[in-house]
Amino acid sequence: MTRPPLEGRKVLVTGASKGIGAEIARSVHRDGAAVVIHYGSDAAAASALAAELGERAHAVGADLSDPTGAEALWSQAVAALGGIDTLVCNAGAWIDSPLDDAERWRSGWAANLQLNLTSAADLCRLALLDFVRGSGSGPSDRAGGGTIITITSRSAHRGDDAEHLAYGAAKAGLLSLTKGIARGYGHLGVLAYAIAPGWVDTGLAAGAISPDVLAGLPLREVTPPEDVAELVAFLASRRSRHLTGATLDVTGADYVR
């Protein structure tokens, strides 16, 4: 019998109670991984997903908009699985930062940077410390290795709209962070990849996809979250180690570099 490609791996997926994150959790679990399903506020959805997946799935709550949230999440995830060898930074929100409202401008920048960048950076730091020490207890190609996959955005390349400048900047920071991890820690067995989706059929995009937007998409449809999830499952398998440092666009040719 063929061994599942992620058998023995221990995966933390942030923002996994719904949307892209939920599909990622389903995909990696299907391929044999144990998975921590992180949620921020929707405990019911995360618990339902954990029950759906059954064995090897655990729901863990933490507020990543709080500067202490990442450390709390990491410690709970490690305790739940006995170690983490694969981190998927998916949690995020499309928070506006309007130019003409100074208070909302400042709060928008603070919220975007914390949730879309700093919390992920904090989790990456904790993961790297464990990976380098060799305490990420899943299989790896060399002692102390691990995998980090970040979900950025096409906004990281092209910027976002006038109301969401902070979001685009935060996602660009996340993209640069991922590249730096790949370059700086590859010799220690750490692989890092970024995925940059365009429009995805999730709650984040609900209400923003008008008929005009849809008509302008080359495939005439938004990307299903499963397309992103399948790519994460492949990258988590470490079957293409020399792809580390790459950014993989999932936009249905809506944005082509």
Half-sphere exposure of 214 (CA within 13 A, CB side): 10
Residues acting as catalytic residues: 167
Neighbour tally for 133: CB within 10 Å:
10
* Helix, strand or coil, per DSSP, at residue 21: helix
Contact 51/27 with Cβ under 8 angstroms?
A: no
Q: What is the C-alpha to C-alpha distance for residues 59 and 171, in angstroms, rounded to an integer?
A: 26
Q: Are 18 and 226 in contact (CB under 8 A)?
A: no
H or E segment and range at residue 249: strand 247-250
C-alpha 128/C-alpha 87 separation (Å) is 10
- Determine contact, residues 249/194, Cβ cutoff 8 Å: no
**Residue 99 in contact with residue 159, Cβ under 8 Å?**
no
Q: Which amino acid is at 87?
A: L
Closest CA to 93 of 8, 167, 42: 167
β-bridge mates for residue 250, sequence order: 197
Query: Rounded distance, CA 69 to CA 61, Å?
Result: 9
